[in-house]
Structure 1
Amino acid sequence: MRTIKAIHQAAYHPIADLITYNPLPSARLRQIDPFIFLNHHGYQEYPRHNNGLPFGPHPHRGMETVTFILEGDIMHKDSGGHESVIEAGGIQWMTAGKGLIHAEVSSDQFKKEGGPLEILQLWVNLPAKFKMTEPRYIGLQKEEINTFPLEDGKISVQLIAGQWEEQKGSFDTLFPISLSTIHLEKGSKLTKNIPAEENIFFYIVRGAVKIMGEEIPFRNLVEFNNDGEQLSFEASEDSVVILGHALPFNEPMVAQGPFVMNTQQEIVQAYQDYQAGKFGSWKG
C-alpha cells in the first residue's frame, strides 16, 4: 500500500477578484514529476454583470495545461485558431509545445448572468523530446468524457486520460499518463493498482478523505512515497478528488513565468521567440 510522504495545504493567492488556492509548487514541493503546477479557483459566486476570469492573452512553451471546469465556464481562444466555450463538467487539454498565445476568459453569458465558479488548472510538464512539438488544443464537454460508476454507483470516475482496467481516457496524450476526476459519496472506498515507480498526483478538491486512517480535508495535495502497488482511500464526506499518475521524466526543469524548459538558455530563447512573433499572431 502506498504511504503518505507529506501533505501540502494549498496557499491562498487571490488573482484580482478571483479566489485562488495554490498547492503546487510551494516552498516545500517543487514538483511531483511530471505534474508541476496547480491553481484552484473558487468556489465562489459571481454577481450579474461581472468581469469574469482575468486571464487575457499570454504565451506558453514546453508544457501542457489541463483545465477542470467544475462550475461556471471558460471561453478559450489561441493563436492556433482554436476557440471554444467549455461548460461545467468539461475539460480542456492544451499542449503548448513550441509555443502559442492563448486567453482563458468567461463567456459573455457568464459575465452577464453570473453564477457559481470553480475551476482548476493543472500544468503537466513535457519531456525534452516533446518540448517543441506542434501546439494543439481539445476541449470536451461533460457528456463527451468517458465517465463510469464504481462501488454500486457511490463513486463516479471521469476518466480524462490513460487506462482504468478496460476503460480508456477521453484524451490521447503524447506520453503515458493517467488523469481522472473522481466523485465519491460519503463512506465509499476506492482502491486502485498503480505501479510503484509511477508518481501519484492526488488533490482533494471538495470534502475530505481518509488515507491509512489519516483524515485529510479539501484543498490539500497528498504526496506519496513510491513504496507500494496500491492506492486506497475512503471518503469521510461527499468528496471530489483529482487523481493522476505517470512515470517521472527525471530530467532537468527550468520554469520561468509561462515557460517550462530544460535549461536556462532555452528559457531565454523562448522569450526571444515570443518577442519576435514566433508564437503566432493574436487577433483579439
Structure 2
Amino acid sequence: MEANIKQVSAVLNPPAPHMVGDGFRVHNFFPKGYKLKMSPFFMLDYNSKIAFSARNEPRGVGVHPHRGFETVTIAYHGAVAHHDSAGNSGVIQPGDVQWMTAASGILHKEYHEEAFSKKGGPFQMVQLWVNLPAKDKMSKPKYQALCQRTLAKHQLANEAGLVEVIAGEYEGTKGSASTFTPMHVYNLRLNKNGKTLFSFPSAYNTAFVVIEGEIKVNDKEVAKTDQLVHFKNEGEQIEVEALTDSTVLVLSGEPINEPIAQYGPFLMNKPEEIQQAIADYNQGKFGYLEE
C-alpha cells in the first residue's frame, strides 16, 4: 500500500489576495501564486470567505472576452449572476456550478446576484480555468448549469459524508459535467472523523483546496481552511480524514501536453493564435453583450 500512495508535495497557504473587478477578492493559487504542475487546470482563483456589505448596485466584473478554454465557477457562499454573448444567463447559488466553454470565443460578465447584493453577507467562490486541447479550442461555445440539487452524489460508508461528483467519476458515480479531456472534479463533504479513499492515475495532476474545516491526508499531513494540498505525480491512493466537519474541492486531471500561449483572457497554443484572438475580438467576432 505504502508504495502506491500519492504523496503530498506541499501544503500551501493562500497567496496575497487581489481584486477581480470590485466583486471578487481572490487568491491565485496558480499559475501566478505558485508554479504548480496542474494541467489541464490552468488557473485557480479562490475567493476565500469574506462578508460583503449590502449594496444596491451589484459588484462584479464587466463584459470581457475569453477564447481557448473553459471557466468553471463553484459557489460556496453568496450568489453570482452570469450573462454571455451566446445568449446564456443564470444564477449560481451555494452548491451550484457554472461550466462555461468559451472555446472559439465568447463575451461574458459576472456580478453578485441582485438579492444577495441588496442584503450582503458571506461570499466564497472558486473559479477554475480548464484548458482545452488544440483540436477543441475553436469549437462552439457552450454552457452547463449544474444545480446543487441535481449534482451527482455518492454517499460514503459509515456516515462519513458524501462526494459531489461535478466531473469525472467516483466509485461508479458519473459526474454531471461533460469534459473534453479526462478529469475528476469533486466537492468532498466529510463529517468530523469521516474518512474516504481516492484513487487517481499517477500521471494525473492532483490538488485539494480546503474550503472549510481541517483534514489529515495519508495519515500524515494536516491542511486547514484556505490551504491547497498539492500531490506528486507518483502513486495513486490518497486517504483523507476530516478532523472537523470539512468541505474539500478535489481536482485531478490528465495533463494536456501541448505548448501554451496565454495573454490576458486568451489561452491558445501559439503566439500567432493570440494575435488572431485579439484581432477577432476587436472586429466584434465574439458577439455582443450589453454592459
TM interval, short-chain normalised: over 0.9
Structure 1 residue 283, shift from structure 2 partner: 2.8
Structure 1 residue 31, shift from structure 2 partner: 4.2
Return the alpha-carbon distance in structure 1 between the equivalents of residues 106 and 121 of structure 2.
Answer: 30
Return the alpha-carbon distance in structure 1 between the equivalents of residues 208 and 35 of structure 2.
Answer: 14
In the alignment, which residue of structure 2 is the partner of 1:132?
Answer: 138
Find 1:71's aligned residue among 53, 74, 77.
77
In the alignment, which residue of structure 1 is the partner of 2:15?
Answer: 11
The amino acid of 1:96's aligned partner reads A
The amino acid of 1:283's aligned partner reads E
Structure 1 residue 76, shift from structure 2 partner: 0.7
Name the count of aligned residue pairs: 284
Q: Does 1:39 align with 2:50?
A: no
The amino acid of 1:200's aligned partner reads T
Q: Unaligned regions of 5+ residues in structure 1, if any? A: none
Q: Does the CA contact (< 8 Å) of 2:83 and 2:108 recur in 1?
A: yes
Question: How many percent of aligned residue pairs carry the same amino acid?
Answer: 36
Find 2:258's aligned residue among 234, 251, 273.
251
Return the alpha-carbon distance in structure 1 between the equivalents of residues 236 and 79 of structure 2.
Answer: 37
Q: Does 1:193 align with 2:195?
A: no
Find 1:154's aligned residue among 145, 153, 160.
160
Q: Does the CA contact (< 8 Å) of 1:10 and 1:24 recur in 2?
A: no
Q: Unaligned regions of 5+ residues in structure 2, if any? A: none
Pair 1:248–1:162, CA change in 2 (3 A): same
Q: Does 1:272 align with 2:276?
A: no
1:16-95 aligned within 5 A: 16=22, 18-26=24-32, 28-49=34-55, 51-95=57-101
1:171-250 aligned within 5 A: 171-212=177-218, 213-250=220-257
1:101-112 aligned within 5 A: 101-112=107-118
Return the alpha-carbon distance in structure 1 between the equivalents of residues 122 and 225 of structure 2.
Answer: 18
Return the alpha-carbon distance in structure 1 between the equivalents of residues 160 and 58 of structure 2.
Answer: 34
The CA RMSD measured in Å over matched residues stands at 1.7
Q: Does the CA contact (< 8 Å) of 1:50 and 1:114 recur in 2?
A: no
Structure 1 residue 140, shift from structure 2 partner: 2.2
Deviates more, 1:133-142 or 1:71-80: 133-142
TM, length-normalised to structure 1: 0.94
TM, length-normalised to structure 2: 0.92
